[in-house]
Structure 1
Amino acid sequence: MNFQTTETIQRLWETFLQEQLANLPPGERDALSTQFEQRFGELLGKDGKDSDSGFYDLIGIGPQGNAGFDKISYPRLTPDFDDSVVPSQLHAAAELYYVYQHERMKIFEVAETLLRLFRLGKMRIQRGPGARGLYLLEKWKPLRYTKADRMVAYRRAFNYGSAPAPAGAVVNRNFHRQLLGFMVAVAQYFRDLMIGEVIRGGQLIDQRPFGSVGTIQRIGLDLRYALDRSTYGNVFSLAMETGHHLIQVLKLLDTADIKKAFDANTKWDVVEIVSNRYLGGVAEPSQRAKMAESGRRILQFIADNDFKTATDPILFQSVVRPMGAHSEAWLAAYRMTPEGRGFPGVTPALQGVLGVPQPA
């Protein structure tokens, strides 16, 4: 449709929308307003002409010849920036984050230590499932990516660690700030909802809450875009291979003969004992395990959610509700780690992310 027709439809639609919403009960307006917005977009998007025909008419080589502006089709631009991501890379980043937290728990170092003790005869196991697992692990060496390779991947995807970034590679330098911002935005959103439900209709809510749907969507889109542009290359294959290797290592640590060799009840007891005895101390296994679980789930949610601007707030609240518990769990665990002990709290942290001036 041409420019003049499009302008006429837009003006008439706004008048029609006001008249229809004014005749609806207040309880139905919110539900139908989103449907009206979607219908309006579909109406404007219906055009039988080819997308290039307007350009040809504009420069005078189309079927209409040298047509005036009133006969040239409206330039309907489709926003697609937020959709231009590779989902497999984002899911690989979520798995890589899970692997990273286990790397911080020294799981791979514990496995290497057990291999060394088994080789040197310093661990009293010989024919059990743990001994056979260590033999196969040493014989086949299924993990081809070394610690140096993993450290480079962590640096590229999350800017974690001290490994030097490869020259020319894209490093996701704002990952932690964006991840923390998303966590506190979701947490603040549900805290505001809880307060609103308790004192709904009161005079205490006299300003816009810091947590909002728009804040979650904005930080989520930024985080998704930054992860997508920094997780190309071998990150996908590294995350898949290292993830499968981690599964086998955790099964190995849970075998009966290895647990008996260290007088342990669970595989996590083995990790703690080996870390304290041979690796200079344990590294927050309880906090790292929760950060791995909740952090991966949040990153999976970000990878699969399109964060549409005109989404129904009630629908968004239902979809994001499970993420509220994960965000609170991640933040509680993060505050107990060395890097998170200076965390100022959900509201001050969100104010910092949003650039809100701190009170004197």
Structure 2
Amino acid sequence: MSYQTTETIQRLWETFLRDQLANLPPGQREGFEQQFEQRFTDLLKDAANGTGRDGFLDLIGFGEKGPVAFDQVAYPYLQPDFDDSVVPSQLHAAAELYYIYQHERMKVFQVVEVLLRLFRLGKMRIQRGPGARGLYLLEKWKPLRYTLQDRMVAYRRAFNYGNAQAPAGAVVNRNFHRQLVGFMAAVGQYFRDLMIGEVIRGGPLIEQRPFGSIGTIQRIGLDLRYALDRSTYGNIFSLAMETGHYLTSVLQLLDAPDIKKAFDANTKWDVVEIVSQRYLGGVAEPSQRAKMAESGRRMLQFIADNDFKTATDPILFQSVIRPMGPHAEAWIAAYRMTPDGRGFQGVTPALKSVLGQPTAA
């Protein structure tokens, strides 16, 4: 289609949309609004004649028809694809790496190193049980090729956590924690507003209307997707996969009956706590870190799989994000109990800080 035809479509579309929606019952309008918006986008794409290459040739006079008037040049439709230009496997690897990082903070990997040393020096009373065999296999094959330094560099690159020196030229995701806290706060605020809306709503149409705003969640979610995508290239995927399998194996190892008996423990987490107290200088808040690992990974998986389309249906978005509300609240509650999160001032101040709004003194 020509530029003039496209201008006509854009000019008359709002009148057409208003007339069509006016003829529909109020209860059916919501079902057609998204369809009309999608149809309008399709019309603009068709008016651009594919990629718009022929329109450019017509504009400079090199087309089949030679120089043509402006009103005969095809409309240049520009496809917005910035938010979609991410590698999903990297985002999923970042979610797994976050889960691994929290277990690193819980000293799980250090506990296993202590057990290997005690087993090698004969300071732990196990010999032929499943735990002894597991420690023997770990010592023999050394399945985790990525050292502590490799993991700390990965945490620094992806999340800006730790004090490891980032490699020269590597992209460091410096705003990750600030954006993650902001996203958790935005989701938490959304559902708090939703509960307020459930209290004050009254009519049949208001009853189905989301009370919270989804724009903040979408904006912070897109920023998180972009920042994680640009900082998790290289060995992050392979490191997360290999270390994740290793973590699964050692957690099963810590649950071996002979290892639990050697420390008079009932569960594998008792083993982690006892070894940390005896040999590693104290326990590193395992209860809070475990919840942050679980809920943080789930929220990062949600961010990786959601495209946060601008014109999404608010009712549909509310249904999709509803399971994330408890995870956000659980993560915030656990985070506030850790030394890192004791300065957390609350959902509203954190959200204002991420959005660049001044907070009250």
Q: TM class, shorter-chain normalised?
A: over 0.9
Q: What's the counterpart of residue 301 of structure 2?
A: 300
Q: What's the counterpart of residue 205 of structure 1?
A: none
- Structure 2 gap ranges (5+): 204-209
Q: What's the counterpart of residue 15 of structure 2?
A: 15
1:46 counterpart SS class: helix
Q: What is the TM-score of this pair, normalised by structure 2?
A: 0.96
Distance in 1 (CA, whole Å) between partners of 2:211 and 2:187 is: 10
Q: CA RMSD in A?
A: 1.4
Q: What's the counterpart of residue 38 of structure 1?
A: 38
Write out per-residue CA displacement over residues 57-82 of structure 1, whole angstroms, 9 at most, x where no aligned residue.
Answer: 11111111011111110000000000
Q: What's the counterpart of residue 55 of structure 1?
A: 56
| 1:253-292 correspondence runs (5 A) | 253-292=254-293
The count of residues paired between Structure 1 and Structure 2 equals: 354
1:143 and 2:150 equivalent? no
Instruction: Tell me which stretches of 4 or more aligned residues in structure 1 moved more than 6 Å.
Output: none
Q: Do the aligned partners of residues 49 and 161 (structure 1) sit closer, same or farther apart at CA in structure 2, a change above 3 Å counting?
A: closer
Write out per-residue CA displacement over residues 13-53 of structure 1, whole angstroms, 9 at most, x where no aligned residue.
Answer: 11101111222233332332122111111122124455310
Q: CA deviation at 1:332?
A: 0.5
1:353 counterpart SS class: helix
Q: Do the aligned partners of residues 344 and 252 (structure 1) sit closer, same or farther apart at CA in structure 2, a change above 3 Å counting?
A: same
| 1:1-360 correspondence runs (5 A) | 1-47=1-47, 48=49, 51-200=52-201, 212-360=213-361
Q: CA deviation at 1:11?
A: 1.2
Distance in 2 (CA, whole Å) between partners of 1:358 and 1:116 is: 51
Distance in 2 (CA, whole Å) between partners of 1:338 and 1:284 is: 9
Bigger shift: residues 15-24 or 79-88: 15-24
Identity %: 81
Write out per-residue CA displacement over residues 160-209 of structure 1, whole angstroms, 9 at most, x where no aligned residue.
Answer: 0000111100000000001011000000001001001112259xxxxxx9
Distance in 1 (CA, whole Å) between partners of 2:65 and 2:351 is: 55
Distance in 1 (CA, whole Å) between partners of 2:22 and 2:63 is: 44
Conserved in 2, the CA contact under 8 Å of 1:3 and 1:70?
yes
Q: CA deviation at 1:349?
A: 1.3
Q: CA deviation at 1:357?
A: 2.7
Distance in 1 (CA, whole Å) between partners of 2:62 and 2:123 is: 84
Conserved in 1, the CA contact under 8 Å of 2:90 and 2:237?
yes
Conserved in 1, the CA contact under 8 Å of 2:131 and 2:256?
yes
Q: CA deviation at 1:211?
A: 5.3
Q: CA deviation at 1:323?
A: 0.5
Q: What is the TM-score of this pair, normalised by structure 1?
A: 0.96
Write out per-residue CA displacement over residues 242-273 of structure 1, whole angstroms, 9 at most, x where no aligned residue.
Answer: 00000000000000000000000000000000
Which amino acid in the other structure matches residue 30 of structure 2? D
Distance in 1 (CA, whole Å) between partners of 2:189 and 2:51 is: 46
Distance in 2 (CA, whole Å) between partners of 1:290 and 1:41 is: 43
Q: Do the aligned partners of residues 211 and 341 (structure 1) sit closer, same or farther apart at CA in structure 2, a change above 3 Å counting?
A: farther
Q: Do the aligned partners of residues 26 and 59 (structure 1) sit closer, same or farther apart at CA in structure 2, a change above 3 Å counting?
A: same
Distance in 1 (CA, whole Å) between partners of 2:354 and 2:182 is: 6
Conserved in 2, the CA contact under 8 Å of 1:185 and 1:212?
no
Conserved in 2, the CA contact under 8 Å of 1:31 and 1:312?
no
Which amino acid in the other structure matches residue 40 of structure 1? F
